[in-house]
Every structure is written in C-alpha cells, then in structure tokens.
Structure 1
Amino acid sequence: MKLWLEAMPDDPNVVAVLYGPIVLAGELGTQSLDKINPYVHRQLDLERLPTPDIPILVCGPDKLLAYIEPVPDKPLTFRTRGIGQPKDVTLIPYYRLHHQRLAVYWPLLSEAGWKQKLAAKAAEEAKRKTYEARIVDEVQPGEQQPETDHGFKGEKTNAGEFHGRKWRDAHAGWFSYELKTLSDKPMVLVCSYWGSDGGRREFDILVDGERIATQKLAKNKPGEFFDVEYPISNQLTAGKQRVAVRFQAHPQAIAGGVFGLRMMKSAKE
C-alpha cells in the first residue's frame, strides 16, 4: 500500500491523507477534555471547550507526500517533516483515534501564502491590542461574580448560555449595571448581541437615567455575534467615575439578550 491524497471537492488545497484504503487522522491532543465526562449527553457540552488550531501544512499538494514519513517501529504511523505550522503532525489510522481532538483534512499553503497569513495575524493582533487599550470597564452579563461586582439590579430578567457565551435579557422588565467611566474623555458603550435573535426584542439603553439609544434585534446578522457602539454624551460622564447603564424593555417586549457589555474610550478621541 502507499500514501495518497484526497482533496475536498471544492478546494484542492484542503486534503486528507490515506494509506491504501485507510484514512489517516492527526492527533491534536486532549486539552480541556479532562474537564467533562467523555460520554457527553449533549454535543453542546463540547462547544464550551476551547478547540486547538489545526496545523497548516506549508507545501503544495504535488510535493506533500515527499514530506510525510513513516515513524520507525510504529506500524501505520506517519509524521510530517518540517512543513507543519506551528508544528508537525503525527498521522495514525482514524479508527485508532479516540478521546482526543483530531483532524482529517489539512489546509495547505505555499511559503508566500504562509507569510501573508503571518502578516495578517500580526495585524489582527495589533488591532486587538489597540481595541483592548480602549476598554475602561466591562461586565459579562449572566456571570454571577462579574454582575455582583458591577452592582447588578433587575426585574423580570433571565440569564443563560448560548454557543459558550453567557447572556442576560428581560421580558417586559429591565436590568442594569454600574460601570467605571472617564470624565475627561469621550466614551462609548459597546454591547454584544446574537445576530439571529428576533421577535419582539425592542429596548432602550439608558445611562444615569438618560436614554442614549433604542435597539431592536431583528436577525440583524444571522448566525454570528455582533457588536454595536453607542456614543455617550460628555454631559453624562462629566465629573463622574461610575455611571449606571440600564436596559429597559419596551411594553410587552424583551430587552436583550446582551452577551457582553463594555465601557470604552471612543476611537475618535
């Protein structure tokens, strides 16, 4: 038998590796899997856990097999040589892999493509650091300790978890938090929502009793989370170290769900 590749029907640069009729899978480790019962009752139990990045093989499909070698004294075990990023991968029969993360299909990139990916990753990291530097205060709705630390109050409110993220809403009610602010800089409030939320989800957002926005959630971005920035008047933060942020449902409507809440310096300062 010999090694051969099977590409995805729509992308020749994503391939599986086979040895004769045997599909080979890559070992990606057991990080965080020890925190749950392996015989989960719901697939959602696994969604809460971080997943490892799948290594990228920096090689064209026409040369890939030359960089996959058998591991001595280990039958049906192979390893890539010098092409895996961030590390090479060990390949064994799919049927032998269990109780750990694994991958069957591998993305391929040229050297130039890998350099472009590194540059894009560095740019994204710089963007993330710039964004985080703007954060003055934040609270995770639905998590007990952060809510307690931020003076949570509310009526007719609920909390839960979805896609590994906590949320809070209020049915014909309200909820509020106290967040730190800066009195000498323009501020914005940033809220995270689930883009498939719909129905009668209409609510006002108030800062120290003054309405700064009215939000309607009507499947704004289906299938993904999204953020909305709400500018806050300087008059509402002048001379203050903290402000109360309140989400007030319209009559017979729902406020939220809110998946994240941050008080930030405006990017326009």
Structure 2
Amino acid sequence: MLAHAFLAVVRANEHARRPAPADLVPLSCNEIQRLFITLVVQPLHNMAHRLGWSDWRRRDQERSRTSHYRRQAAQGAGRLPSCSSELPETRKAACEIDETARALRQLCPVRSLRSDEGGHRAMIPGRDHGFTDQGVSLMVSVSMESAEQAEQRLRRVIAQADLVVHDGVWCFEESPADQPPALTRETLAVVRDQESWSRLVPLTQEGDGVERFGIFSFHFADQVDNSGFVGWLATHLKVELGTGVFVVCGSNRAHGGIYDYWGCPIDLLDQAIAVVRTLRVS
C-alpha cells in the first residue's frame, strides 16, 4: 500500500504541474510504475526509447478511451462527444478507479490461480512476493529481476532443494506409439511423440547405440520461485564440464511440488555432482 500511495502522490503532482497534451491520457499509476522500473530500477534502453514508448501507449489509450465513450454516448444520448474533455465526470472517476485497480495488480502480481472447493479461482498470498499456491512450488513462476538477482536466487534454490544421486546406469528404452511401455517401480519417466514411447529405466543390457546416463534429481522446497533453474544449471555444467544434459520435470504436491530428473553421460556423473555441490554451498 505504501508503494501505491507513492504512485498516487506522483500522479497527482504530475497532473497539477504538467497537464497531459490533448492527444495523450494523463499519466496513470500504472504508467508511472512502468516508467520508474524501466528508467530507474532496471533500465534496458535509453531514456528517449522508453519515453517514446510511453507516449505511444498513452496516445493509443486516449484514442481507445475516446472511441469507447463516444460509442456509449451515441447509444444513450444520440450524440458523440468530440473529445475526452466532454466525457461525463462519473465516467472519468470510473476510469481513475480502473487505473488504481490495475496499478494494484501490477504491484501485487498474480503468480498462480487455483480452484477452491466451490470451483472459484482463488488467489493465495505468498510469503515472498505476489501470489503463489499455498504450500507448493509453482510449475512455472514469473518474476522480473536482474542477472545478479537471478544468480543469487537460483543459488538459494539449489541450496534448499533435496538432491538425490540415483545408483546405477540408466538409459531410454523405446517402443512403438501403439505399444505403451509397462510402468514399473524402476521407471523414472515416460514421454512420447507421435511415433514412439521413450521410458527412462536402469540399463539391463548393453546394445549398439544405447546411451548410458547417470541420473540425479532435485525436489524443490515449497513456495520457491525456481524459474530459470534448468537453463542456469545446464549452463554451469556446460561451462565446467563441456557436457549437455537432459531434464525431465514432474510434480509431487505432497513433497513441495516440482521435481527434476537430470541426466548426463555416466562417465561425467561424479564431476557433475561435484559442480552441483559446489553451487549448493557457495
């Protein structure tokens, strides 16, 4: 609420000191927040670029707003106001309320929605920021941050995750699409395309062309934003060891939520685990 109060004060000050041109909507809380983030907090382009985009958005909003209310006025009173200055005061007030609501949604973004017992969509406040499903990690999280902030967050994620190194050598067994594989206790994952099934299981018989993998897995802590984790860790392993990896993701809501199975060449498994453990304590 303090952030919204700040935006409201800035908006009122801007309206009083520098009224908007006729072809632009006045600066809203939403637009002020966007400019503050892109010009001060996380600048990605020069100021002229960002201000140009801001003017374009406000000009487009002004045209849309004027057109919308002209249509409404034509239906109700048989006349079209020539510009936004002729809009009824009640509609201007409603527009301001809508802007405030949009600003609040920007300040507290909805990261996940789930159905409650009545079938309605319920938003559950999270511990860190935004909204999250209560007690579980999200399959896909959304967050805006710098590269340094992402690095710090993902190091916390890997440190908090449960790491398991799976014994033995693993491989993918393939079968035709019309012959689904049996699901056994040893089966870690099953995926398919239009032509075949592929089952991740312990290697029981050597054969030509069969890739041999070592497997390790992560169960992530609950209510953790792990977005970007796969690319981040895969990049570290590529830089350190030169190896690619494969990742299979699943969800177990009784154990925090998201888990990943990671595969690398069996000959590099020990080195990959050493890289992971270094990241977990750094």
Structure-1-length-normalised TM-score: 0.27
Higher strand share: 1
Higher helix share: 2
Structure-2-length-normalised TM-score: 0.26
Q: Which has the higher contact order (CA 8 A, sep 6+)?
A: 1
Give 1 or 2 for the bigger CA radius of gyration.
Answer: 2
